[in-house]
Amino acid sequence: MPSGFRHLNAVLLAASALTLSAGLLARYLNAGALAQDLWLIGIAPNWVALAVTIVRSLIRRQAGIDVLALLSISFALLSGEVLVAAVIALMLASGRALEDFAQARAQKEMTALLSHAPKQANRFEGGQWCQVDLATVRSGDRLLVRHGEVVPVDGTLSEPADLDESTLTGESVTRHRAPAEAVSSGVLNAGAAFEMVAAASAEHSTFAGIVRMVSAAQAERSPSVRLADRYAFAFAGVAVVLAGASWLLTGDPARCLAVLVVATPCPLILAVPVAMVSGMSRCARRGVLIKGGGALERLAQADTLFFDKTGTLTGGYARLVDIECSSRYEPQEVLRLAASLAQASNHVMAEAVTKAARERGAALLLPSAVIESPGAGVQGHVGGHAVSIGTLPHVLGSAVAPPWSEGFIKRVRYAGASAVFVGVDGELVGALQLADRIRLETPRALRLLRQIGVRRQGMLTGDRPDVAESVGAMLGVTDVYADQSPADKLTAIREARAAGMVIMVGDGVNDAPALAAADIGVAMGARGAAASSEAADVVLLVDRLDRLVDAVRIAQRTRYIAVQSVVVGMSLSIAAMIAAALGYLPPLAGALLQEIIDVLVILNALRVLQAGPHKATRTLPPQDVERFKAEHAELEPIMNRIRTVADQLPRIGRNQAKTTLSDLTRLLNLVLVPHERRDDTEIYPDVARLLEGEDPLAAMSGMHREIFRVTNLLDRIVTDLPEQGPDSAALQELQRLLYGLDAVLRLHCAQEDELFHVLGKEA
């Protein structure tokens, strides 16, 4: 509601309360005529405001449900019950003020998003930094963000930055971001000034999408709100009939007035919109932007989930594995050209390429004339060359693939990896192999969604069937659709909608048709906010799939509380109407009772803002989570060493095998075993206190027992090896133990990573 109307309602409430109190004092002093005049002074502006509201509602073709209140005041005045009319006016003004408070409280988080909108940017042009209008910024521009400024557009960091991302994520912790990481518009620079490369114009950046979606969310009336209006209008008609009948049958106008006073369907017209806005605000606090009350309702009823793979189930962990190129180019040069262009893209693979190049010390150039083709790739000019990166068809165009690319494509296919092809001046000159990892939160998110009713889950991906089936089997997804074009995804969504309410989660770019076709389109991560503000109904501003679980839970709880408020509130109103019609509830008491019902209904609807029963109350400190991650990163070379030694054993001599194995067991005893013992004795007890149950980490601790057993057995076998090294039987046993240890360690670290991720501050 506009602030002007809120101020008007506050003034009306103050006038009503003041004149009612003054009139009661005048009556106590036996000044009856003065009391009547004071009450009329308070009634008049409320009556006029009510009449104007009814007319405005009818002009908008909305139900004029305030007509009952207008009838109540008018009938009371005609009956000579001026005090009753004054009390009704006060109750009406206080109800409006209470509704304003509830709406403002419910919209707090959503409205806060709009207060950080950037207006200008610092762009490097003509050899100096110039402050320019935000609308003139384009992809590839070099920008400077000073301390305390808001990031103007989406882009890629050229140097480290400390960012306050609470506007988007709801988390107040300052995040340190490394060079080549993507940065979203709307976040605050909490550290030193930094440079960045724009990846989108202001119009197509994250914050512009947020502004559009918040505006749409605040304007949209959900289906339940519209339905409640229609029910309320019908209810008002019934109330008028009942009031008239009680007067005709008893001849007592007071009963008619009492029925009209308590008949206002406030539980319907207040509970549903307050609950819906509260639910959307609660989601915004968790980093989930809901486009409107209708989307929130559909989210609560969803039973089918479809999702893209790249950037949804995976993403954020892609790393460069290999570079293949033609004889005329060096791998480092291919990577440098590709990364220079990738700076201007927000795609997860582009971010991985840029990050890999910076880690290898490449000096990146600024791209120009950048054009991004969703789902295909990016093209532009870098250092005087026309460069393109992306899929093979996008880069090749009408040209023929060179012979060196055939072997690369086969290796990528066997490994189930991803590839970014690089073209320079119309020729395919190189290809980058990227390994994309499943997001840490993905398995847990899918499990929790199944638990809360989203039982059918399908993956729609453009990947080959073998890669898609492998990922699907890993996550327990039974419906796997591979080799899917945007049109194929659209068809699958439309077919699924015939059987239930469908959620589609995608990266918000090439999945836009499927997002629009689904009952609830969800854009994954801040990258999707700008590209999918029209197509998606929901944007996960935090790049984590488990926030969708939060959104579904909040939506289900919102719908439950809205229905509960309506049922309880309307039951009380109907009971009061019957009591009034039978003469047991006088008009003055009825007005007070109706106000109590209104307050109870609104307070109950505001319960949506509170944390539900699934809210985590205890978490690990962020610094502990980061420390655990760093320790696991230190173990990665050791695990790679175990696998390498196991692979090499049959191919090296017996003497060398003994030396290699001795070095490995020494490393295990010096680093791995102490690490696992420290976890078991120091970390696990603290973590267990955060979880329910007597010994919640028993299975995880059992993995430690197996690691200790295998390392001890390896140490004893290697110690007992003869001088000439292991024979074939011992070699076979050592290989078996090493492969087993590798598998156990990787599984155990993955389980710990997920556990610490869940218990982290962002969980």
Tokens of 338: 């590709």
Beta bridge partners of 538: 290, 522
CA distances for 209 relative to 9, 61, 503, angstroms? 33, 30, 20
CB-based contact 492:299 (threshold 8 Å): no
Tokens of 499: 């059987």
100 is annotated as an active-site residue = no
Q: Which of 154, 164, 308, 715 is catalytic?
A: 308
> Any idea which residue has 């502006």 for tokens?
45
Q: Which of 556, 521, 543 is nearest to 451 (CA)?
A: 556
Q: Which of 355, 331, 305 is nearest to 499 (CA)?
A: 305
DSSP per position, 345-356: ---HHHHHHHHH
Positive or negative torsion for Cα 291, 295, 299, 303: negative
> Any idea which residue has 């009450």 for tokens?
39
Pairwise CA distance, residues 702 & 572, whole Å: 57
What phi-psi label fits residue 401: left (phi over 0), alpha (psi between -120 and 50 degrees) or beta?
beta
CB-based contact 436:315 (threshold 8 Å): yes
Tokens of 220: 């949209």
Pairwise CA distance, residues 188 & 190, whole Å: 6
Pairwise CA distance, residues 709 & 199, whole Å: 52
Local structure of 359: helix, strand or coil: helix
Local structure of 649: helix, strand or coil: helix
Pairwise CA distance, residues 144 & 121, whole Å: 8
Question: Cα dihedral angle (348, 350, 354, 359), rounded to 10 degrees?
Answer: 50
CB-based contact 562:601 (threshold 8 Å): no
* φ/ψ of residue 86, rounded to 5: -65, -40
Pairwise CA distance, residues 85 & 92, whole Å: 10
At position 383, the amino acid (one-letter code) is G
Positive or negative torsion for Cα 201, 206, 210, 211: negative
Local structure of 434: helix, strand or coil: strand
Non-local (6+) Cβ contacts of 498 within 8 A are none
Q: Which of 587, 589, 594 is nearest to 77 (CA)?
A: 587
CB count, 10 Å around CB of 221? 17
Report the alpha-carbon angle 552-556-562, nearest 5.
140
Question: Residues with catalytic annotation?
Answer: 308
